[in-house]
Amino acid sequence: MGHAFRRVTGRLAPALLAQSAPFLSMIIPKFGLHPKPEPFLIIAVCLLMVAALRAARAEALNDRHAGWLGVAIGFGIACKMQFLALGLVPLFLLDRRRLFVVLPLATVAGFLVFTSPAIPSRDIWFDWVGRMVLHSGAYGAGAATVVDAGRYPKAIIGLFGSKLIFSIVFFASLLSLAGYARLRRRGLIRPEPLARLLAGILCAQVFLILIIAKQAAAHYMVPALMLTGPSLAILWVLSGKVFPVRPHRRVWIGLGMALGLITVQAVWKQNTELVRWTRDAQGFDMGRFKACAKIDFDSSSSLAYAFLRGDLNTGGRYSAKLASRMPTDTYAWFINDHTWWKRGFMQWNRRLDITEVAASYPCLVFRGNQPYTALPTAIQQIPGFKPDDICEVGEEGIFTRGIKCDGSPLAK
C-alpha cells in the first residue's frame, strides 16, 4: 500500500504515512496475530486501496479499474460481512455505469469465488445473516427491531471515543475536505483526485461504524482503522496544496515523529505483554497432574482447548482425528453460550455429564480465564464440590480438588 502511494504521489512521506496504518491502533497487530478473519481484512483493505489509487490517478477509467475494486471488495466481504461498508470507498471515483454495473458484478463474482468452499453451507449462512440484520442484539439475538434505539447512539459515540488517533484523523479529514471544497468553488486550487478518494473513505468509515454499533467490539473496526493511514497520506497531499513548503514539511515531520514514538511505545508494550502471557501460560507444568482430570473452561490456553474451539467452529468434523491424538483425560467445560454451540461439558464433540466425570477421577484441575464464573458454577453443578487450592497463572485462574496447585497431595 505504501508503494502504491509512492507511485501515485512520487513522495516518500505519504507512502510512509499510508504504510503506518497497521500500527496506528494496537487492535490491528493484536488481532493480526489471531487465526481469525482480521488478518485477511488487513490484506483486503490494502488490495482495495491499491486498486482505488489506480482508479483515482487514471487518465481514462476503464472497466478493469472497477473490476479490480470489485474483486478486492468481494474478497473482504468473504472474510467478514462488515467489509461491505468499504464498497463506498470508490463512490466518487467511478462513473455511473462502472459504479452501478461493473463494480457490483465484480464484487459478487469475487465474493462467490472466495466463498466457494462454503457454498454447501449457504442455508446456514443466509439464516445467520438474516438474523444479524433484522435483530437488534449480538449474533442475531434481541428484538426484531434492527437496532436497539436506547443503546445504539451510545455505541456509536463509544466507538469514536475509544479510538483517539482514528477519531482525530477522521475529523481532520472532514475539515480538510470542507476546506478543499470551498477553495475549489473559488477556483483557488486545482482539482485533486485523491480528495474524491478521501471522501469515499470517510463515507465507508461512517457506514462501517453504523453497522458494527449493533454489536460494538473494537476488533470489528479493523477495516475502518486500516483506512487511517491512507487518510493521513491524502491529508499530506491536500495540505501541501495550501501551506508553504517549509511549514508543511516541519508540521508533518513533527507529526510523523509523534506517531512514531506513540507506535513504538505501544508495540513494545503489547509485545512485552504477549511475551509475559506466553511465558506464564507455558511455565505452568500440567504434567504434575497425571492422575487428574484436566478440565479447561472459557477460555483456557491449553492446546486441546484451542483445537476443540476450532473444531467446533467447523461443526466437529475433525473431532475423531483430534481425539485419537490428544490426551484422554482432558475435557472442555463451556460456561458460556458460543456462536455455534451451547454451554456444557464436552470431550471433543461428545457431551458428557460433569458429575460422572468428576466422580471417576481422584483429583480435578480446572483451568481458564473466567474463574469468577467457573468456580461458582462448579460448586453449583458438582455435588459437594469445594476447591482445595486456587492459584493464578498469568491471565488464567486454576482451582483444584484432591490435589494442590504445585502437584503435591493434600495434607491428611
Q: What is the pTM of this model?
A: 0.77
Structure confidence by residue, pLDDT tens digits, 73-109: 999 999 999 999 999 999 999 999 999 999 999 999 9
Structure confidence by residue, pLDDT tens digits, 195-254: 999 999 999 999 999 998 888 888 899 999 999 999 999 999 999 988 888 999 999 999
pLDDT band (50, 70, 90) for residue 339: low
pLDDT at 340 over 80: no
3 state SS of 344: strand
pLDDT at 289 over 80: yes
pLDDT at 343 over 70: yes
CA–CA gap between residue 303 and residue 123 (Å, rounded)? 32
Structure confidence by residue, pLDDT tens digits, 161-212: 888 899 999 999 999 999 999 999 998 888 899 999 999 999 999 999 999 8
pLDDT at 139 over 80: no
Structure confidence by residue, pLDDT tens digits, 393-407: 888 999 999 999 999
Structure confidence by residue, pLDDT tens digits, 355-384: 999 999 999 999 999 999 999 999 999 999
pLDDT at 142 over 80: no
Q: Strands of 293-297's sheet, edge to edge?
A: 350-351, 344-347, 330-334, 293-297, 364-368, 396-401, 389-393
Please, are residues 331 and 365 in contact by the beta-carbon 8 Å criterion? no
Q: What is the mean pLDDT of residues 135-157?
A: 79
Domain boundaries, the chain: 2-242, 286-401
> Looking at residue 199, what is its pLDDT?
96
Structure confidence by residue, pLDDT tens digits, 161-175: 888 899 999 999 999
Structure confidence by residue, pLDDT tens digits, 103-136: 999 999 999 999 998 888 788 788 878 888 887 7
> Looking at residue 151, what is its pLDDT?
84
29 Cβ neighbours under 8 A, 6+ residues apart? 22, 23, 267, 270
> Looking at residue 412, what is its pLDDT?
67
CA–CA gap between residue 273 and residue 267 (Å, rounded)? 10
pLDDT at 35 over 80: no
Name the percent of the chain lying above pLDDT 70. 98
DSSP code per residue over 58-93: -SS--HHHHHHHHHHHHHHHHH-GGGGGGGGGGGGT
CA–CA gap between residue 65 and residue 340 (Å, rounded)? 39
